[in-house]
A and B are shown apart, each in its own frame.
Chain A
Amino acid sequence: MGEIVGISGLMGSGRTELLMSLFGFLKGDIEGTIWLEGKEIKISNPKDAINYGLGIVSEDRKKYGLIHIDNVVKNTTLASLEKVSNYGLINGDQEIHETNQYVRNLGIKTPTVESIIDTLSGGNQQKVLLARCLMTKPKVLFLDEPTRGIDVGAKYEIYTLMNQLAARGAAIIMVSSEMPEIIGMSDRILVMHEGKIAGKFSKDEVTQEKIMIKAAGGSKNEA
Chain B
Amino acid sequence: MKLNLRNNISAYVMLFSLFLIGIIFSILTEGTFYSARNISMLARQTTIVGILAIGMLFVIVAGQIDLSVGSIVGLCGTIAAALQVWNNWGTIPTIIVTIFFGMLCGIWNGYWVSYRKVPSFIVTLAGLLIFKGVNLGISKGKSIAPLKRNFSALGQSYTPATIGWILSAFAVFAVILLFINRRNSKIKYNFEVKPLYIDILKIVLISGVILLAVGVLNNYQGIPIPVLIMLFIAIIFAFIAKNTVFGRSVYSIGGNEEASALAGINTKRITLLVFIISSGLAAISGILLSARLDAATPAAGTSMELDAIAACVIGGASFTGGIGRIPGVIIGALVMASLDNGMSLINLENYWQLIVKGIILILAVWVDTMSKNESTV
**Residues of chain A having any CB pair with chain B under 8 Å:** 23, 25, 45-47, 49-50, 56, 58, 63-70, 74, 78-79, 81-82, 85, 88-90, 92-94, 96-97, 116, 119, 132
Contacts and interface: CB of A to CB of B under 8 A. Distances in A.
A132 B245 CA distance: 16
A149 to B, nearest CB: 17
13 contacts: A25-B262, A46-B262, A46-B263, A47-B264, A56-B262, A63-B256, A63-B258, A68-B255, A70-B255, A78-B265, A88-B245, A88-B246, A96-B191
Nearest to A90: B243
Contacts of B255: 67-70
A81 B259 contact: no
Given A67-B255, A96-B191, A116-B3, A90 B262 contact: no
Given A23-B262, A46-B262, A96-B189, 12 more contacts: A47-B265, A47-B266, A49-B264, A65-B262, A66-B256, A67-B252, A68-B255, A69-B3, A74-B252, A78-B265, A81-B245, A89-B243
B183 to A, nearest CB: 11
Q: Which 8 A-B pairs have the closest CB atoms?
A: A67-B255, A79-B263, A47-B264, A78-B263, A50-B264, A81-B245, A46-B264, A93-B189
B323 A69 contact: yes
A65 B266 contact: no
B342 interface: no
A148 to B, nearest CB: 16
A97 B186 CA distance: 10
Contacts of A81: 245, 248-249
B260 A97 contact: no
Given A25-B262, A90-B248, A69 B189 contact: no
B276 to A, nearest CB: 17
A146 to B, nearest CB: 15
Contact of A90 (B245, B258, B261, B266): B245
B322 interface: yes
B251 interface: yes
Q: Among B1, B263, B266, B323, which residue has the most Cβ atoms of chain A within 10 A?
A: B263
Contacts of A47: 264-266
A175 to B, nearest CB: 15
Given A23-B262, A64-B262, A70 B322 contact: yes
Q: Among A25, A64, A116, which residue has the most Cβ atoms of chain B within 10 A?
A: A64
Contacts of A65: 259, 262
B244 interface: yes
B245 A94 contact: no
B258 A79 contact: no
A88 B251 CA distance: 15
B303 interface: no
Given A69-B255, A70-B251, A116-B3, A46 B261 contact: yes
A67 B323 CA distance: 12
B259 A67 contact: yes
B188 interface: yes
Nearest to A115: B1
A93 B245 contact: no
Nearest to B188: A93
A74 B251 CA distance: 10
Interface string B64-93: 000000000000000000000000000000
